[in-house]
Amino acid sequence: MPSETLTRLSKWIADSGYCSRRAACRLIEAGHVNVNGLPGKHTDRVSANDVIHVEQHLIQPFPELEYQIYNKPVGIDCVCSEEDPDSIIHQLKGKQRVFPAGRLDKDSHGLLLLTNDGALCQKILHPDFFHEKEYCVVVDKAITPLFCLQMAQGVEYNGTRTRPCKIIQTDTHTFLITLTQGMNRQIRKMCRSLGYTVTHLQRTRLVNLQLDGLSSGTFRDLTSEEVKTLKNTLRPNRPDELQETAEAISKQSSSGL
């Protein structure tokens, strides 16, 4: 990037691979970012001529971009904290700095995308992009057709209603669910509101990325074709597309029960 090009501070930090843009905003808000020796502000625009420190680390902009899949085991926390013995950061020792593009609960496991591509991470996390995430879920009692229909049409809890989703029952207590949003502990809360408790939750797919037999606790680099397809898929939807998508998913889910 030319030195005269000015970039918003949070985007610069994300593009450096230090963390996601959302996390960068939190670090700025908490006073953990300095620009040329002064506290960083959300309105700051910076370039390669500026000296930027985050949590006392000098930020080196624009490293080679890395994309990896990690099959996260249960018990690993996606929060990047040196002080937390269960933090994913301790699994990344010796690797070029990457960070999770989104999170999986500590008591869930499965596919996690790790990258230092801040722009890509921002697109994956943005709620307007409606990217698919597929999970295999086991609950504590037998699943009914009504449960599947209610999950597919969207569930209301804590004053909000979830988007319509795809759901396929695969066994008496097991189903596959494909979400296009990522609210905190969403599947567990959806099930709880309908009288079920999740006993097992695994993410099996994120957009075009799949585990494909990757062993628990191990990593693999994305292929160039996977990265290309992922980037080509990451585009926002227009409001009319979002409505059509929601109606189609609801219709398909209901007709399949």
Residue 167: CB atoms within 10 Å? 23
Amino acid at 132: E
Check whether 207 has a pLDDT greater than 60. Answer: yes
Check whether 255 has a pLDDT greater than 50. Answer: no
Contacts of residue 51, defined as CB under 8 A and 6 or more positions apart, other chains included, come to 35, 36, 37, 58
Shared domain for 126 and 223, answered yes or no, is: yes
Bridge-partner residues for 198, per DSSP?
A: 139
Q: Say whether 105 is catalytic.
A: yes
Can you tell me the distance from the alpha carbon of 59 to that of 32, in angstroms, rounded to the nearest whole number?
13
Shared domain for 79 and 129, answered yes or no, is: yes
Indicate the number of domains in the chain: 2
Shared domain for 37 and 146, answered yes or no, is: no
Distance from CA of residue 68 to its chain's centroid? 13
pLDDT band per the 50, 70, 90 thresholds, residue 94: low
Can you tell me the distance from the alpha carbon of 28 to that of 8, in angstroms, rounded to the nearest whole number?
12
Structure tokens at 34: 């300095």
Range of the domain at 187: 63-257
Check whether 116 has a pLDDT greater than 90. Answer: no
Instruction: Name which of 74, 73, 28, 29 is nearest 53 in CA terms.
Output: 28
Shared domain for 155 and 206, answered yes or no, is: yes
Note if the pTM is more than 0.75: no
Q: Which of 15, 77, 105, 117 is catalytic?
A: 105
Cα 204-207-212 angle, rounded to 5 deg: 40
Shared domain for 214 and 115, answered yes or no, is: yes
Shared domain for 42 and 81, answered yes or no, is: no
> Does the residue 54 lie in any domain?
yes
pLDDT, tens digit (0-9, with 9 covering 90-100), for 179-205: 998 888 999 999 999 999 999 999 999
Contacts of residue 143, defined as CB under 8 A and 6 or more positions apart, other chains included, come to 169, 172, 173, 174, 175, 196
Torsion of CA 201, 221, 207, 255, to 10 degrees: -50
Alpha carbons within 13 angstroms on the beta-carbon side of residue 25 total 8
> Does the residue 2 lie in any domain?
no
Torsion of CA 174, 179, 184, 190, to 10 degrees: -50
pLDDT at 82: 80
Shared domain for 111 and 19, answered yes or no, is: no
Helices (H), 75-223: 118-125, 145-153, 186-193
